Amino acid sequence: MNSGKTIFSQVMDFLPMNEFRKCVNRYQGNHKVKSFSCLDQFLCMAFAQLTYRESLRDIESCLRSMKNKTYHMGIRSQISRPTLARANKNRDWRIYADFAQILIGKARKLYANDSFGLDLNETVYALDSSTIDLCLSLFPWAHFRKRKGAIKLHTLLDLRGPIPSFIKVTDGSVNDVNILDDLTIEPGAFYILDRGYLDFKRLFHLKEQSGFFITRTKKNFQYRRIYSHPVDKSLGLICDQTIRLTGFYSKQHYPEKLRRVRYFDSETQKYLTFLTNNSSLPAIIIAQLYKCRWQVELFFKWIKQHLRIKAFYGTSQNAVKTQVWIAISIYVLIAIIKKQLKLEQSLYTILQILSVAMFEKTHILQMFATLDYKKETSDSHNQLLLFDL
């Protein structure tokens, strides 16, 4: 049945436009703007993400070729490359960051009851960062190394979904461990961190806020064993110990007891040593929780492959952050659509179908109902586990 709306319009109908207008008003995004509003900018950039446009000229050419349909897509202004470039450069990126957080809150509610592979009632987060290389001569503000520029995408991923609950975009020179200062700790939640976040002063602050952390130790880790707990070595466990830190600074920064779990991973043939402040979970669950941290790595891999966040339409800091936040908004929007329409296809398949059907007027459910999703294939089994939820 032809609903009279393009697929693009039907996708955008899932956006809470009242909340978007609040974000625009908060930062006076449309102040003294006669044409090409913040909504026009968002829709053009969303179209670019959904259809894999490579440049501003590419966006302009595609939308102008369909100018008889752009009004019905919600774009009320004439599309031009200079206008879009100025908007990306000058419109406050926080408009789109705040709107992305609203979408994230909506998505997390939809995925709150999903399982991530372990039977655990507490929320589990994985924290990591991904570096996006930039040319220092074109992006002089993106400090990283002497002759190299970069930005970092710091992400706290809720493993039920998986949906990013916290994202911060910084230049490449920002140390990962500093991001712990920006987190709002959820009492009772687990935070899975790699060794780059091993800062005992910050970890003790996390513990004081009633959060649990699981991380790995470094080679120069100094400690004293207080007690050893029995373990089932057939599961790969080597030891489960209660310890105290003995390093000069570490014992001052973390004066309380910790738990040390050593584990042999038969898949990678590696010995792994975990550190946590949780004493109630079985030792094997601690090891399995840390293994779930790789979902945040798969999240970075997915958005880099399927969204436009490695090549940018503008060189200013505002333009880069605007593009990243709109890309995150599109990722979360597709996750919302998948859940609300109860689609069986993976996020990758949904995105691929939408990319070639933006101007079609078929009902969105009809597009996916005629697809035999059971015949889908993927090069990465891990991606199916992560995104085919």
Q: How would you write the pLDDT of the chain (389 residues) with one tens digit per residue? A: 445 788 999 999 999 999 999 999 999 999 988 889 999 999 999 999 999 999 999 999 998 888 888 888 888 888 899 999 999 999 999 999 999 999 999 999 999 888 887 888 889 999 999 999 999 999 999 999 888 999 999 999 999 877 899 999 999 999 999 999 999 999 999 999 999 999 999 999 999 999 999 999 988 889 999 999 999 999 999 999 999 999 999 999 999 999 999 999 988 899 999 999 999 999 999 999 999 888 899 899 999 988 888 889 999 999 999 999 999 999 999 999 999 999 988 888 999 889 888 888 888 888 887 655 444 444 444 444 555 55
Structure confidence at residue 375 (pLDDT)? 46
Let me know: does 252 contact 259? Beta carbons within 8 Å: no
Domain co-membership, 269 together with 341? no
Residue 51 forms part of a structural domain: yes
Give the 3-state secondary structure percentages of the chain, helix then strand then coil, rounded to 5.
Answer: 45, 20, 40
Domain co-membership, 208 together with 284? yes
Q: Examine the fold and report which residue of 276, 292, 308 is the final residue of a domain before the chain moves on.
A: 292
Q: In a 10 Å sphere around its CB, with 0-12 CB exposed, 13-18 middle and 19+ buried, how is residue 100 labelled?
A: buried
Distances from the Cα of 167 to the Cαs of 95, 127, 200, in angstroms?
Answer: 14, 10, 23
Structure confidence at residue 372 (pLDDT)? 54
Domain co-membership, 256 together with 326? no
Residue 286 forms part of a structural domain: yes
Structure confidence at residue 371 (pLDDT)? 53
Residue 50 to residue 190: CA distance in whole angstroms:
33
Residue 274 to residue 216: CA distance in whole angstroms:
4
Angle, CA of 79, 80 and 86, to the nearest 5°: 115
Residue 179 forms part of a structural domain: no
Domain co-membership, 207 together with 246? yes
Domain co-membership, 232 together with 271? yes
Domain co-membership, 68 together with 19? yes
Structure confidence at residue 11 (pLDDT)? 93
The count of domains in the chain is: 2
Q: Examine the fold and report which residue of 253, 274, 292 is the final residue of a domain before the chain moves on.
A: 292
Distances from the Cα of 268 to the Cαs of 186, 263, 282, 284, 383, in angstroms?
Answer: 32, 12, 22, 16, 19
Residue 302 forms part of a structural domain: no
Residue 25 sits in which domain range?
7-96+318-387
Residue 330 forms part of a structural domain: yes
Domain co-membership, 276 together with 358? no
Residue 13 forms part of a structural domain: yes
Domain co-membership, 275 together with 204? yes
Structure confidence at residue 370 (pLDDT)? 60
Structure confidence at residue 376 (pLDDT)? 47
Place of tokens 């039977």: 119
Domain co-membership, 286 together with 328? no
Residue 90 forms part of a structural domain: yes
**Would you tell me how many other CB atoms lie within 10 Å of the CB of residue 195?**
12
Q: Where are the beta strands (DSSP E) in the chain?
A: 124-134, 143-145, 148-158, 163-171, 190-192, 212-216, 223-229, 237-245, 258-265, 270-276
Structure confidence at residue 70 (pLDDT)? 84
Let me know: does 157 contact 182? Beta carbons within 8 Å: no
Domain co-membership, 286 together with 351? no
Q: Examine the fold and report which residue of 275, 292, 309 is the final residue of a domain before the chain moves on.
A: 292
Question: In this structure, which long-range contacts are made by residues 304-308, counting pairs with CB atoms below 8 Å and at least 24 apart in sequence?
Answer: 304/130, 304/132, 306/348, 306/351, 307/49, 307/331, 308/48, 308/49, 308/52, 308/53, 308/54
Residue 36 forms part of a structural domain: yes
